[in-house]
Structure 1
Amino acid sequence: MSYEFALRPAPSEVVRRDWRLPLVAAGVWAAALAGLYGNVVSGLLVAGGCVALVALGRKWKRGFAAALATVAFGGVLGAAVTTVHVAVRDHAGLAALTEAETHGEAELVLHTAPKPSNRRPELITATARMHAFRADGAAFEGHWQVLLVASGDEWTELDAGQRITLPAVLREADGGRLTAAIVSARGPPEPVGTLSMPNRIAAHVRERLATAVEAVPQPEAGLIPALAVGDTSMMDPELAADFRATGLVHLVVVSGYHLSLVVGAVLAVASACRAGPRGRVLAGAVAIAAIVVVAGPQPSVLRAAVMAGMTLLALAAGRPRAAMPGLATAVLVVVLADPDMAAQAGFALSVAACVGLLFLAFRWARPLEHRGWPPAVALAVTIPLATQVAVTPLLIGLGSGVSLVSVPVNVLAALVAAPVVVLSVGAAAVAAVWLPAGEVAAQLAAIPSRWLIWLARNGAEIPGALVPLPGGVWRGLGSAAVLALLIVLLQIRRARVMVLAVLVAAGVGTLPACLLTGGPPSGWVITMCDVGQGDALVLPAGDAVVVVDVGPEPAAVDACLDELEADRIALLVLSHFHIDHTAGIGGVMESREVDAILAPPPGEARYGYELVEEKAGAVPVLEAVPGEVFEFGATRLEVLGPPTELLSGTRSDPNNNSVALRANVAGTSVLLTGDVELEGQRALLGSGAALGVDVLKVPHHGSSFQVREFLEAADPAVALVGVGRGNEYGHPDPGPLGVLADGGALVFRTDESGRITVARNGDEFEVMTEN
């Protein structure tokens, strides 16, 4: 045995790394990402350029040129594989069908189980593989990756791996992915055949776990399946938002943390049973396969599974410290097997967290250990700090916001994280075999899970817990450069004290901004909150406020109302019951007094209506009646719509029957339009109502469903568009924005400006934006 393996390394020892595999993996990832945003021709050009760099690099054995050639070799692999997939995605026949939005019958095999969309829970989505599409007597066959969009409870009864046929419409998908089309269901699914054995096992485990947690009170019952198999469908939406705000979301997404705990427990049991090296590796491999089957092919699961598999092989080969090559191999294998992973944020965040762990956490733990800290305690502090540093540039680039409480909350969560995950996974495993034992295991898992729930809820209540930051590639790269500079400076002994002093001073300096808010400005007229793809607007109402719509999640609208120091809501207006206007109602109702709710009939949007009904409690719900007037201090609201006889047979009846209001705030007129589309706007034009205003809330997030005469009749000085960054609907459409701009309006969008506040002092408007 060599000297290297005879020594037992310290827990935080930094391993020696071979950079060749990471460089190849980087090349594969970069080329795959470039290929997804291009076409076959651009993919071939990238591959050709990489081949030329590899050929040139053969002349150098070391240095930058050799490293570049190694990256280029990965680029050849990534570009070649991705180009093949892109050729399938861009099939001319399928492109013609999507462009024409063809109706027909689709035959799909579900890749993931259908579940409510994160952005619009009233819609059911799933990834699938389309094998055939029949329209007008012609059949198109292939193997296309598609996104299924549907509605109805019958869809949630399907499982991954199920083959189905359904009436559908094919629509164009967004670029930058391998998704060839969006399949919009126009009827219920018809299952074909039976599930494969692995999919039946996964469905059985999930079903038995859901039954087992019925013996546990909420919200623990919804959290346990998320901790065990990443199933958040039973989790309270407000609690899920709190987990995101406090940086605990990695616990409810099956990742390397879960696999390391489960595989470690399995290996410990195998060792206790005196299993040999092969037996331990086999037991670990079975555990990995079981997790992948039950949790599904999520990006973090696949990355962690491949990396865990490489670690097991390293153990079998007597090289237990090959962590970095294992991560590089995981990236290499996953991206080559599915180039679409290169564009998935979840996969990038998972890899970044692992890089932070390997590069920073163990290195930062060593000085603490030298000062007498127990290794476990040192790592409990440095692991969340290192992973937060590693993922922050990505979070900023994605515009997801940065949690300021993530590190302390994760340090405190470490007290129970390991046992609660192991108990939750154990509950799933035991319930699959014997349900009564699974119920007992679920009740045991519920005990430590209460600590996580308490941390998430109280951490999210801290002012400034989640700092919303403008996204973008350049901001992400800039933050990465700043963090890299800080890390380098902290390694220099002479500069360390000064850097730490600056960081502490900066942290102390932000406390007043986090703890104290100045409320609305003088002459405040209206604020459009940045709630992503949705609407939430606030107007003054004497010593209270009027809130119009509440966005798709509680945390965002709650933070906006906190900034405005809104403690009492004189009237909560819900323009309609689509989820992007109602799902945030918990963030409005919690810890605030709401006098009344104004809303239209629910129509088809039952999900949002039931959610509002649940959260409203004893708050009276008023039906919007045209001509009705509400007055609160200097603010007057007149109901313009929906019409007395509701519109029907339109493209979207709930949209067109939105509550439309004309507000007058101390002499400034505002038109609030909900999501009225063509028919709804024509109804307002024909009603004889005064539509000319100073400020317009642009209907339906600035979609293409706009009547030019309606926008011209409004003739606003300021137009506000509530829209999410990179949304899948293509909002806002440049056409309506151009009409408004041509009319002299200043157009502001929340995806570009963040929160938008309009104030008026004298004859001048002042528009203040968050960004």
Structure 2
Amino acid sequence: MTTFAEGHRDAAAVVRRDWRLPLAAIGAWAAALAGLYGTAFTGVFTACGLAAMALLGFKWLDLKRLGIKRDCGAAAAFATVAFGGALAAAVTSVHTHVRDDDDLQRLVQAEAGGNAELVVDTVPKPSTRSPGVYTASAHLRGFTEDERELQGNWRVLLVGSGEEWSEVIAGQRIGVDAVLREADPGRLTAAVVSARGPPEPEGRSAAPYLLADHVRDRLTEAAAAAPEPESGLIPALAVGDATGMDAGLAADFRTTGLVHLVVVSGYHLSLVVGAALAVALLFRAGPRARVAVGAIAIAAIVLIAGPQPSVLRAAVMAGMMLLALAAGRPAAAMPALATAVLVLVLVDPDMAAQPGFALSVAACAGLLLLAFRWAKPLEHRGWPQPVALAVTIPAATQVAVTPLLVMLVGGISLVSIPVNLLAALVAAPVVVLSVLAAVMAAVWLPAGEWWARLAAIPARWLVWLAQTGADVPGAMLPWPKGLWWGLLAALCLAFVIGLLHVRRLRRPLLALIAVAALGMLPACLIRGGPPSGWVVTMCDVGQGDALVLPAGEAVVVVDVGPDAALVDACLDDLGVDRIALLVLSHFHIDHTAGIGGVVEDREVDAILAPPPGEAAYGFELVSEAAGEIPMLDAVPGQEFRFGATRLEVLAPPELALSGTRSDPNNNSVALRAEVAGSSVLLTGDVELEGQRALLGAGRLEAEVLKLPHHGSAFQDAEFLAAVDPTVALVGVGQDNDYGHPDPGPLALLRDAGSLVFRTDESGRITVARNGDEFQVTTERGGG
């Protein structure tokens, strides 16, 4: 049998040397990803099968060496992929054996409560969906339930609520009263540890973790000297700490494809390591000294930014480059990327399932395989190489990551390439200045403040680009998410790229793309708004509700969802400056946490709400954000008139319901609205008891129904029949953890002839009336 290297030499004409590591990395990634959904037994079985396939491929190569002519390129590729897959399958089986520990899984299935002893791996970060909730990766070292004690070392997801969690640092050992819950499949996470109280530190973290925490804290203090919103942006640019970023600005960065600047990646690492090597060269350091300086810079970034997938990928790649420098050999980027993938997947198979890792690898591969190739024709036409690369790098990386983004979140950004092209003017200086602010603040705070103010100057350009790009109507091309839609996006991109290689079609197609891009520029100056005959709009705010109705020169807003940035963007697109009445159906955070995005920079005349009941946290959020805005109590029979819109309060009842499955839900404010002759029933989260109470409250027939409680299973069939809507709207988040909406109520509505539209499928939904017909406009289609 030939060796791994000898077999590949025989097929060098077909499988080039540079593709050996990439093929092995592809095999390892695929096998690890598949193994995460299996057990230790299936992992061992897969490893043995792949190893046999690799040996078969190498044996096929032997036939050529014996004089039997074969096309050995395919065999070499097959054997290399199988070899990488066998390694990863074997490693993954070991990890899944630990993950699936029988004793731990029995506790998880029982949702056992007790005292958990954990070592926190990453700094707890606030949840974007649930205000006040923090999440972190951790290792569970022990769990005590009553008199039973379980010891081990399992990877878990730690979830806690309260500001105390913001004080926890990476590497810290803590104890906490918690409940063990089932984790999502396809990862090495053995359980979700849901804390029922504050963390109790046990000892101090190691010195490196304390140093990293010191740098982050001092940087946050220094950045506060800069004006907002740049003050929250600078820590994100320097070390990936986006906790201080304005929520609206963070959403704009995602929409315009600038999010890679606020997530530490290969770009940051290349700038920092490059600057460190430049300083070393300035002092005439030798190769070994330069390698040492570069290694220290890499270690510092990984430590301070945390072990994010993109950071680790870039760190391994940079390490390979430094080794090449130390050995006096030319550095090869593609083998370095493949080595990074192979090493990280074998060390931590969970990396294969992390979206951040996939996006980082895809962006780097796009840069290496496409950007430099696309730049050559421009250079031949006289473009300076830096200018050519400034154009091709954003295009290549966007093409590479778009199919993955479609799979994960849906939608295609149409402004990402031009925005990133303009951002390149300041990206490098602003990142370097932000990193210098972090370094100086760690040593002397006033110096850090001075550098932060300096970094804020170019950061303003990034803020303007993000906000302006996100305000372009149609900045996101509606496109459903999912694996097959991502593959379709990849095929469409490949087709367009293929057309660009046809000489006769290249210029017309480029001209068409240029005209389309230029045609978007005037749209920056055009403000959005509702269509004529507007009845109601349901905003897409994730797992929550936010609806808008016309009210003369103003609007009525019913609920504000969980995300301030999402509801703010929806109101901006509708051109809302004044809110005649803000109705909060109840105080659960999926209906109230977005309050800041509604009241900030808008005139709100009054707020109508029920008593807070048990939902005290949401009431506190609203009270703090509302300030001096008058708050009115919702009383059945109340009427409000705003132009051609009339509102009638149907619930909550004067004697609040109690003892139900959820009293705050069943005591939601329910409204019947008449909008220019069209009837709309808005029901909050009323469940069975609340719906039955409404049946006796008066006329319920409505042409448009906001389905109660995000379409949960708690629906009364008699209630739905009494409403008998033409259009039913469901506010629900994609892949939510609650099973919303339940197919049963949706089937009842559809069988009765109602048209059902869901925000998780359709995005924002607007209902308008044109004569006797309703026109429903959605962002993404579906429904």
Q: 1:77 to 1:579 in 2, by over 3 A?
A: farther
Residue 38 of structure 2: aligned partner: 38
1:555-591 CA distance string (max 9 Å, x none):
5445544555555433222334444434545554567
1:382-425 CA distance string (max 9 Å, x none):
21121112111112222343332222222222222212211211
Q: How does 1:379-394 map to 2 (within 5 A)?
A: 379-394=389-404
* Counterpart residue identity of residue 310, structure 2: S
Q: 1:293 to 1:746 in 2, by over 3 A?
A: same
What SS class does the counterpart of residue 304 from structure 2 fall into?
Answer: helix
Residue 5 of structure 2: aligned partner: none
Residue 209 of structure 2: aligned partner: 199
**Distance across 2 between alignment mates of 1:543 and 1:561:** 14
**Distance across 2 between alignment mates of 1:300 and 1:223:** 19
Contact 1:702 1:721 in 2 (8 A): yes
Residue 442 of structure 1: aligned partner: 452
Residue 136 of structure 2: aligned partner: 126
Q: 1:460 to 1:539 in 2, by over 3 A?
A: same
**Distance across 1 between alignment mates of 2:133 and 2:652:** 24
Contact 1:396 1:469 in 2 (8 A): yes
1:684-706 CA distance string (max 9 Å, x none):
45974655544432333334566
Residue 749 of structure 1: aligned partner: 758
The offset of 1:508, in angstroms, is 6.5
* Counterpart residue identity of residue 138, structure 2: A
**Distance across 2 between alignment mates of 1:253 and 1:656:** 42
Q: 1:57 to 1:349 in 2, by over 3 A?
A: same
**Distance across 1 between alignment mates of 2:754 and 2:19:** 55
Contact 1:24 1:73 in 2 (8 A): yes
1:726-762 CA distance string (max 9 Å, x none):
2344433445545655666544322123233345667
The offset of 1:710, in angstroms, is 5.8
What SS class does the counterpart of residue 20 from structure 1 fall into?
Answer: helix
Q: 1:422 to 1:677 in 2, by over 3 A?
A: farther
Contact 1:173 1:180 in 2 (8 A): yes
The offset of 1:95, in angstroms, is 2.9
Q: 1:457 to 1:506 in 2, by over 3 A?
A: closer
Which of 72, 82, 94 is the matching residue for 1:84? 94
The range that moved more, 108-117 or 366-375, is 366-375
1:531-562 CA distance string (max 9 Å, x none):
32222222233454322223344554455445
**Distance across 2 between alignment mates of 1:765 and 1:330:** 55
Residue 239 of structure 1: aligned partner: 249
Is 1:408 aligned to 2:418, yes or no? Answer: yes
In structure 2, the gaps of 5 or more residues are: 1-15, 62-71
Contact 1:108 1:163 in 2 (8 A): yes
**Distance across 1 between alignment mates of 2:236 and 2:407:** 27
Q: 1:219 to 1:474 in 2, by over 3 A?
A: same
What SS class does the counterpart of residue 19 from structure 1 fall into?
Answer: helix
The range that moved more, 373-382 or 686-695, is 686-695
The offset of 1:253, in angstroms, is 0.7
Residue 741 of structure 2: aligned partner: 732
Provide the aligned C-alpha RMSD in A.
Answer: 3.2
The offset of 1:293, in angstroms, is 0.8
Identity %: 72
Residue 26 of structure 1: aligned partner: 26
Is 1:720 aligned to 2:724, yes or no? Answer: no
Which of 551, 569, 579 is the matching residue for 2:561? 551
1:187-207 CA distance string (max 9 Å, x none):
122111221222111111112
Residue 8 of structure 1: aligned partner: none
Q: How does 1:7-18 map to 2 (within 5 A)?
A: 18=18
**Distance across 2 between alignment mates of 1:631 and 1:176:** 53
The offset of 1:609, in angstroms, is 5.5
What SS class does the counterpart of residue 193 from structure 1 fall into?
Answer: coil
* Counterpart residue identity of residue 181, structure 1: A
Q: How does 1:296-445 map to 2 (within 5 A)?
A: 296-445=306-455
What SS class does the counterpart of residue 359 from structure 2 fall into?
Answer: helix
Contact 2:248 2:566 in 1 (8 A): no
Contact 2:58 2:75 in 1 (8 A): no
The range that moved more, 662-671 or 120-129, is 662-671
The range that moved more, 322-331 or 42-51, is 42-51
What SS class does the counterpart of residue 179 from structure 1 fall into?
Answer: coil
Q: 1:708 to 1:116 in 2, by over 3 A?
A: farther
**Distance across 2 between alignment mates of 1:690 and 1:115:** 47
Q: 1:457 to 1:163 in 2, by over 3 A?
A: same
The range that moved more, 537-546 or 215-224, is 537-546
Residue 13 of structure 1: aligned partner: none
* Counterpart residue identity of residue 53, structure 1: M
Q: 1:330 to 1:472 in 2, by over 3 A?
A: same
Q: How does 1:355-754 map to 2 (within 5 A)?
A: 355-504=365-514, 507=517, 520=530, 524-561=534-571, 564=574, 566=576, 568-585=578-595, 587-589=597-599, 593-600=603-610, 616=626, 619-642=629-652, 655=665, 657-666=667-676, 668-676=678-686, 684=693, 688=697, 691=700, 693-704=702-713, 716-734=725-743, 736-737=745-746, 745-754=754-763
Q: 1:277 to 1:681 in 2, by over 3 A?
A: farther
The range that moved more, 346-355 or 371-380, is 371-380
**Distance across 1 between alignment mates of 2:226 and 2:514:** 43
Contact 2:120 2:169 in 1 (8 A): yes
The range that moved more, 374-383 or 696-705, is 696-705
The offset of 1:612, in angstroms, is 5.0
The range that moved more, 601-610 or 182-191, is 601-610
Is 1:95 aligned to 2:91, yes or no? Answer: no
Contact 2:247 2:565 in 1 (8 A): no
Is 1:109 aligned to 2:119, yes or no? Answer: yes
1:44-96 CA distance string (max 9 Å, x none):
45434423432332244432332122222222222222232223333333333
What SS class does the counterpart of residue 437 from structure 1 fall into?
Answer: helix
1:89-109 CA distance string (max 9 Å, x none):
333333332333222222221
Contact 1:241 1:554 in 2 (8 A): no
What SS class does the counterpart of residue 748 from structure 1 fall into?
Answer: strand
What SS class does the counterpart of residue 58 from structure 1 fall into?
Answer: helix
What SS class does the counterpart of residue 244 from structure 2 fall into?
Answer: coil
Q: 1:96 to 1:691 in 2, by over 3 A?
A: farther
Q: 1:712 to 1:487 in 2, by over 3 A?
A: same
The range that moved more, 554-563 or 487-496, is 554-563
What SS class does the counterpart of residue 90 from structure 2 fall into?
Answer: helix
Contact 1:174 1:728 in 2 (8 A): no
Contact 1:470 1:754 in 2 (8 A): no
Q: 1:565 to 1:431 in 2, by over 3 A?
A: closer
Residue 5 of structure 1: aligned partner: none
What SS class does the counterpart of residue 184 from structure 1 fall into?
Answer: strand
The offset of 1:339, in angstroms, is 1.8
1:279-304 CA distance string (max 9 Å, x none):
11111111111111111111111111
1:623-648 CA distance string (max 9 Å, x none):
43343222234433223444557678
Residue 302 of structure 2: aligned partner: 292
Residue 149 of structure 1: aligned partner: 159
Contact 2:127 2:133 in 1 (8 A): yes
Contact 1:122 1:578 in 2 (8 A): no
1:634-680 CA distance string (max 9 Å, x none):
43322344455767888766555543323333554433233445676
The range that moved more, 554-563 or 114-123, is 554-563
**Distance across 2 between alignment mates of 1:710 and 1:98:** 38
Contact 1:122 1:608 in 2 (8 A): no
Contact 1:122 1:151 in 2 (8 A): yes
**Distance across 1 between alignment mates of 2:605 and 2:404:** 41
Q: 1:432 to 1:454 in 2, by over 3 A?
A: same
Q: 1:485 to 1:296 in 2, by over 3 A?
A: same
* Counterpart residue identity of residue 37, structure 1: Y
**Distance across 2 between alignment mates of 1:703 and 1:166:** 33
Q: 1:685 to 1:621 in 2, by over 3 A?
A: closer
The offset of 1:257, in angstroms, is 0.7
